[in-house]
Amino acid sequence: MTDSPALPSVNRAWHLVTRPVGWPKPEDFALVEAEVPTPRDGQVLVRNLYVSVDPYMRGRMSAAKSYADPYELNKPMLGGAVGEVVASRAEGFAVGDHVLHSFGWREYAALDAKNAVKVDPDAAPLSTYLGVLGMTGLTAYVGLLRTASFQEGDTVFVSGAAGAVGSQVGQIAKLKGASRVIGSAGSDEKVGLLVDEYGFDAAFNYKDGPVSKQLRAAAPDGIDVYFDNVGGEHLEAAIGSLNLNGRIAICGAISVYNNTEPAPGPKNLARLIQTRGRIEGFLVGDHYDLQPQFVEEVGPWVASGALKYRETVVEGIENNLEAFLGVLRGDNTGKMIVKI
Ligand SMILES: NC(=O)c1ccc[n+]([C@@H]2O[C@H](COP(=O)([O-])OP(=O)(O)OC[C@H]3O[C@@H](n4cnc5c(N)ncnc54)[C@H](OP(=O)(O)O)[C@@H]3O)[C@@H](O)[C@H]2O)c1
């Protein structure tokens, strides 16, 4: 076993204490102090440096069965994190190694080495393994290229376009020869960023008026692909603007994650008959076979600046919850990350 010389004795971790109904409230959570865990044989102790907060975590706060198990009450919550190994009882892992794992929402984590993936801090900034080169980046890549079967010349519309996934969808589409890329976001500042920095052809603030009207103005010849991060009114508007053989990739539905009543479905599904349109949901977890191709293609774009990214970084484990709530509110531009 190898150890860092001085480790603190106290570990802070966020627990879910009540299952939220509607918007999560601070009382539904607690930042709990416990001893720093001791790694067992085959485990590493990791000091988390960057912790991810993601919209899908809202789903895990509910008891309903889904693709990811519900968070257990009064236990540390889970989520992506990158940290430094500070003690190792596992072959192949040494103190000082950096690893990606799924025991976020806490300062220290003892985990089986088989659940840790080494990352190279010299190859890319550590936080990017949670965002542009990590899960959200891969989500954009597989959703656009595989699920939506993107083709050169397509007109692409993406919602949540200034967020972690959406900002990459639009830029990858441009880099791969989209004829027109349109994005929607929730502030004029974000809309400006899409056009001025990310090279979108058009963008609009969905809070300014009906999405269908704004989309028709931005895409007068219709859209071939819609990458849906939002659901609700956006999805209905996209179906309304879909061209012949159009494709819709359902990635997320953040506009309904805090609903207490089932959201009404799109009223215009029959348009899919006329357009021979296809709507398909996907989960990034089913597509890790594309990870090497993603890293090979997107890594150089990120390194050269051809694909730009932003991160909204909140400091301190005590602000982990506020950062998560901020994602639901739209406080973030690009990937929301907590720096510990
Ligand atoms: N299928 C998968 O495997 C997979 C994997 C990762 C993520 N996702 C989904 O992809 C979507 C984007 O995730 P992300 O990590 O990139 O998050 P993100 O876009 O970085 O952050 C969420 C954004 O959603 C927007 N938003 C919040 N409420 C909204 C509403 N009512 N209407 C429209 N926009 C709203 C906010 O931006 P504005 O300021 O623009 O409102 C906020 O910044 C989420 O739905 C997530 O669940 C799915």
Question: How far away, in angstroms, is 188 Cα from ligand 1 center?
Answer: 17
Pairing of the two strands 180-185 and 155-158: parallel
Burial of 65 (0-12, 13-18, 19+ CB in 10 A): exposed
Q: Going by CA atoms, what residue is nearest to atom 19 of ligand 1?
A: 163
CATH hierarchy code of domain 2-131+309-339: 3.90.180.10
Q: Which of 168, 254, 310, 314 to mutate to test ligand 1, by most ligand atoms within 8 A of the CB atom?
A: 254
Residues 251, 296, 285, 51, CA torsion sign: negative
Q: What is the pLDDT of residue 65?
A: 86
- Asked if 212 contacts 234 with a C-beta cutoff of 8 angstroms, the reply is no
Instruction: Tell me what pLDDT residue 289 has.
Output: 98
CA distance 58 to 331: 16
Residue intervals of the chain classified under CATH 3.40.50.720 are 135-285
Q: Residues spanned by CATH 3.90.180.10 within the chain?
A: 2-131+309-339
- Mean pLDDT, the chain, rounded, equals 97
Q: Is the CB of 184 under 6 A from ligand 1?
A: no
Q: Give the C-alpha separation, 194 to 304, whole Å.
A: 19
CA 329 to ligand 1: nearest atom:
27
pLDDT in tens, 109-141: 999 999 999 999 999 999 999 999 999 999 999
Q: Which atom of ligand 1 is nearest to the CA of 251?
A: 1
Atom 46 in ligand 1: residue holding the nearest Cα: 252
Q: Give the model's pLDDT for residue 312.
A: 98
The closest of 135, 113, 134 to 125, measured between CA atoms, is 134
Mutate to test the pocket of ligand 1, among 127, 198, 204, 229 (most ligand atoms within 8 A of CB): 229
The CB of 256 under 6 Å from ligand 1? The reply is no
CATH match for 135-285 among 3.40.50.1360, 3.90.550.10, 1.10.8.640, 3.40.50.720:
3.40.50.720
Closest residue by Cα to atom 6, ligand 1, is: 136
pLDDT at residue 7, as a whole number = 83
pLDDT, one tens digit per residue, over 61-117 is 999 888 889 999 999 999 999 999 999 999 999 999 999 999 999 999 999 999 999
With CA atoms as reference, report the closest residue to 225 among 203, 240, 247. 247
For ligand 1, whether the C-beta of 231 sits within 6 Å is: no
The closest residue, in CA terms, to atom 32 on ligand 1 is 255
Strand order in the sheet with 223-228: 202-205, 180-185, 155-158, 223-228, 242-250, 278-281
pLDDT at 263: 86
pTM: 0.97
Residue with tokens 């012949």: 244
Ligand 1 atom with minimal separation from the 256 CA: 31
**Amino acid 5: pLDDT:** 61
Instruction: Print pLDDT tens along the chain (340 aa).
Output: 666 667 888 999 999 999 999 999 999 999 999 999 999 999 999 999 999 999 999 999 999 888 889 999 999 999 999 999 999 999 999 999 999 999 999 999 999 999 999 999 999 999 999 999 999 999 999 999 999 999 999 999 999 999 999 999 999 999 999 999 999 999 999 999 999 999 999 999 999 999 999 999 999 999 999 999 999 999 999 999 999 999 999 999 999 999 999 888 899 999 999 999 999 999 999 999 999 999 999 999 999 999 999 999 999 999 999 999 999 999 999 999 999 9
